[in-house]
Amino acid sequence: MKSMIKISLRNKLLFPAVVLIFLGVCLSTVISYIESRDSIEDLVKSNMRSICSITINNLSSWVSGIKDELTVWREQDLCQIGLEKARIGDMSYSKNIDSFLTMIKDQKKYFQFIGIADSNGNILFSSDALNDQVLNIIDKDFFKNSIEGRLYITDIFKSASDSKPVFIISSPICGIDELTGESKSRIAGVIYAVVDFEYYSSVNLYSVSVGNSSNIYIVNNEGVIVAHTDSARMFAGNLSDYDYGKQMIGLKTGSISFTYDGIERFAAFESYPDSGWMTVIDITADEIMAPAKRIELIIVSIGIGIILSIAAGIWLLSDILVVRRIDRVSSGLKVINDGEGDLRMRLQETGNDEVTLLSKTFNQFIEKLGNLINDRGMNARNLATSSEDLLGLSGKMFDQAENMKSKSNSVSKSAFKMSTNISSIASTMGHASENIDLAVESIEEMAMTIESISENSGKARSIVVSAVSRVHEATTKIDKLGIAALEKGYR
């Protein structure tokens, strides 16, 4: 039979406590991790949505500012008079208007080109020298809309000259009477500006960062990425080519989770209501969860520290309060079991717990054990005295049996003589002979019976002698045990 693994009392106390604490810490860690993960995730998503909103507000303010600037320019007398003059073939204002537009372009770094076209779409004045080129924009959508009296903004597109993202903003411009200075209601032409969107992105977009893995970009109405923190992705793809991109374009504002290049990411996005341009911020899910994982590591480290501290405390307390005291009881019992115990030994009875009760019980057991040994010693001496009396009685019985045997032998001899005498007169006493024979037989049987009794008496005497001898041996051993107890202080 295989021996069972021995588990100490300390380990029996320590193991369940450590297991329970470990389970508690694990449960607390899981709950804390889930709560912190959800809180951090909500916080990061909220911040990303806030950044999107701020970016859209900045974009809206910037575009509104450009609209206001264009509105101011179209109200300039210089531009209105020059346009009215040009209608009748007088280009005397051309140089002054070109200088004015060039000054504006130099002051505002985000303008690539500013021009004024007549009602036929011919560009008459511009911020850049045209070198006698005749340019016409009558087929452009922005011109068609503005010549009908609307302020118009095109979608963001790739510039043919420098491949930068740009958009055009245009506004109708009316003529003015040179003499009266009164503005005419008739639309005389269109003033427009080519705006460098890269300027806005570099100032207001690329400086925004949520994390190391975050991307921030803007897509136009067609889903083309026109601004991106990774310049290689500008005009390199269309958001509508991806399922998550289609979802963003459909929602226009909100947040989603998606997978790109096998990496799970989270995106927040918001659209500019006037143009439909969308600002998107995305970041990897791992980076969002990084703070939660750090918190988890901290919680686990604290939990391990708590487990080790409590385990050490339980180890020391169980050793001092329980194990050592029980070891004293165990040592006392072991000494007694080995036959060399000091029955005067007592355990300390301090406290009011189970170990104290065990010590009291142990002391009571030792007390009763000493009393029991004393009682057994007295009983052994009484038994020795009774054995000696029994030995004397058995000797008397043996002597009486010997006397009975001697007497039975005498009776047998007398009967034999009587038989001889009776036989001599047998001839004369025929009938009496038979009776006498019967008497002789009876006497012989009686003699044999008496002899058997004598033999049995001898055997009985031997048995009694043997019993007395064994009683003496037992008495001697008990006397020795009693003497040992008396030497230890118990009588």
Asked whether the domain spanning 354-487 has the same topology as the one spanning 61-198, the reply is no
Residue 419: per-residue pLDDT: 61
Q: Does the pLDDT at position 480 exceed 80? A: no
Which of these ranges, 19-23, 191-195, 209-213, 483-487, has the smallest mean pLDDT?
483-487
Residue 286: per-residue pLDDT: 85
Class of the 354-487 domain? mainly alpha
Cα 482 to Cα 491: distance, rounded to the nearest angstrom: 8
Instruction: Using a pLDDT cut of 70, give the percent of the chain over it.
Output: 71
pLDDT digits (tens, 9 = 90+) for 39-52: 877 887 888 888 88
Q: Does the pLDDT at position 80 exceed 60? A: yes
Average pLDDT (2-31) is 70
Contact 369, 333 (CB under 8 A): no
Query: Distance of alpha carbon 219 from its chain centroid, rounded?
Result: 44
φ and ψ at residue 166, rounded to 5 degrees:
-140, 165
Give rounded-to-5 percent helix, strand, coil for the chain: 60, 15, 20
Q: Could you identify the residue written with the tokens 């590591």?
A: 297
Beta bridge partners of residue 136, listed in sequence order: 122
Which tokens in the block code for residue 329? 């009881």
191-201 as b/e: b if 16+ CB within 10 A: bbbbbbbbbbb
Residue 23: per-residue pLDDT: 82
Residue 233: per-residue pLDDT: 86
pLDDT digits (tens, 9 = 90+) for 111-144: 999 999 999 999 999 998 766 566 899 999 999 9
Report domain extents, the chain. 9-34+292-331, 61-198, 201-288, 354-487
> Averaging pLDDT over each range in 119-133, 346-360, 399-413, which range is the top one?
119-133
What single-letter amino acid sits at 118?
D
Q: Does the pLDDT at position 423 exceed 80? A: no
- Cβ-in-10-Å burial (0-12, 13-18, 19+) of 126 comes to buried
The CATH architecture to which 61-198 belongs is: 2-Layer Sandwich (3.30)
Average pLDDT (337-350) is 64
Which tokens in the block code for residue 344? 């005067």
Cα 277 to Cα 205: distance, rounded to the nearest angstrom: 14
Task: List strands edge to edge, sheet with 225-228.
Answer: 225-228, 215-219, 278-284, 263-271, 254-260
Contact 94, 125 (CB under 8 A): yes
Q: Which among 114, 104, 206, 218 is positioned nearest to 156, based on CA atoms?
A: 218
Contact 272, 60 (CB under 8 A): yes
Cα–Cα distance list, 1 to 4, 19, 89, 215, 310 (Å): 9, 30, 123, 70, 38
279 band by pLDDT with thresholds 50, 70 and 90: very high
> Averaging pLDDT over each range in 53-57, 355-359, 462-466, which range is the top one?
53-57
| Mean of the per-residue pLDDT values of the chain | 78
Residue 487: per-residue pLDDT: 59
Average pLDDT (227-232) is 88
Q: Is 277 helix (H, G, I), strand (E, B) or coil?
A: coil
77 band by pLDDT with thresholds 50, 70 and 90: confident
How is 399-467 classified by DSSP, letter by letter?
A: HHHHHHHHHHHHHHHHHHHHHHHHHHTTTT-HHHHHHHHHHHHHHHHHHHHHHHHHHHHHHHHHHHHHH
Residue 458: per-residue pLDDT: 62
> Averaging pLDDT over each range in 62-76, 302-316, 372-386, which range is the top one?
62-76
Integer-rounded Cα radius of gyration of the chain: 64
pLDDT digits (tens, 9 = 90+) for 151-180: 999 999 999 888 899 999 999 998 776 555
φ and ψ at residue 110, rounded to 5 degrees:
-90, 0
238 band by pLDDT with thresholds 50, 70 and 90: confident
Cβ-based neighbours of 479, under 8 Å, separated by 6 or more: 377, 380, 381, 384
Residue 385: per-residue pLDDT: 78
Residues in the chain: 491
The CATH architecture to which 201-288 belongs is: 2-Layer Sandwich (3.30)
Which of these ranges, 26-40, 371-385, 442-456, has the smallest mean pLDDT?
442-456
Residue 1: per-residue pLDDT: 43
Cα 392 to Cα 467: distance, rounded to the nearest angstrom: 12
Residue 100: per-residue pLDDT: 93
Which of these ranges, 38-47, 212-221, 348-357, 422-431, has the smallest mean pLDDT?
422-431
437 band by pLDDT with thresholds 50, 70 and 90: low
Cα 112 to Cα 398: distance, rounded to the nearest angstrom: 152
Q: Which among 96, 67, 66, 65 is positioned nearest to 79, based on CA atoms?
A: 96
For 178-186, the CB contacts below 8 A with 24+ separation are 178/81, 178/84, 178/85, 181/77, 183/75, 183/80, 184/84
CB atoms under 10 Å from CB of 179, counted, come to 6
Q: Which among 145, 142, 144, 146 is positioned nearest to 156, based on CA atoms?
A: 142
18 band by pLDDT with thresholds 50, 70 and 90: confident
